[in-house]
Amino acid sequence: MSAKIKENELPEGFKDIRCIICPTGCIVHVENVNGELIIEGHSCKRGEEYAREEFVAPKRILTTTMLVENGFLPLIPVRSDKPIPKEKLRDALKEIAQTVANVPIKMGDILIKNVLGLEIHIIASRDLIEI
């Protein structure tokens, strides 16, 4: 099976992507041939979409911890509320490492607004009370 998708500003070259959608783990070949995206090797629609996104703009939800002052615990687990472009993860981690949160915190509270100007927020993963 193969699929052709037209795209502007596609990355050059090709990638063999291991699909993570299900345990079958298809190896999907994605190649930019003169501005057209060739996707081969997948066995379902979701796999095709995943491989396409991994080639064009891979993103990840970032999950880490942030320091807390006077908390019941010294750290609060946090995550990005939307997936972050893979190449920006390190910078986002640095910004989170330089931030200290104040208790009390409720799950979903925004602890860093608009991280790196990406219009993505860093939110608390749990409640945390004072010590």
Partner 1 sequence: MKKYEVDVAVIGGGSAGLAAAIVVKKAELDVLILERDKELGGITLQCIHNGFGLHEFEEELTGPEYVQRFINQAKDLNIPYKLDTMVIEVTPAKTIYAVNNKEGLIKIKAKAIILAMGCREKTRGAINIPGFRPAGIFTAGQAQRFVNIEGYLPGRTYVILGSGDIGMIMARRLTWEGCEVKAVVEIQPYVSGLIRNEVQCLEDYGIPLITSYTVTKIHGKERVQGVTISKVDRNFDRVIGSDKFIECDTLLLSVGLIPENELTREAGAEISRMGGPVIDNNLETTIEGVFACGNVLQVHDLVDLVTSEAKRAGLNAVEYVKERYDKKVEKKDQIICTSGENVNYIKPDLINRIDLSKDIIFTFRVKRPDRRLLIQLKDDKNKIVYKRKKIYVIPSEMIELKLNLSEHQIDPDCKNLEVEVIPRPEVMIEED
The residues of the shown chain that bind partner 1, judged by CB under 8 A, are 18, 20, 23-25, 60-61, 63-65, 67, 72-75, 77, 79, 86, 89, 93, 107, 125-127
In angstroms, rounded to a whole number, what is the distance separating the alpha carbons of residues 67 and 98? Answer: 9
- Rg of the chain (C-alpha set): 19
Query: How distant, in Å, are the alpha carbons of 53, 105, 108, 110 from that of 113?
Result: 26, 15, 12, 6
Q: Which of 83, 119, 102 is closest to 111 using CA atoms?
A: 102
Min dist CB 97 to partner 1, Å, is 9
Smaller CB separation from partner 1, 33 or 129: 129
Q: Least CB distance from residue 89 to partner 1, whole Å?
A: 8
* Closest distance of CB 107 from partner 1, Å: 5
Nearer to partner 1, 35 or 74 (CB): 74
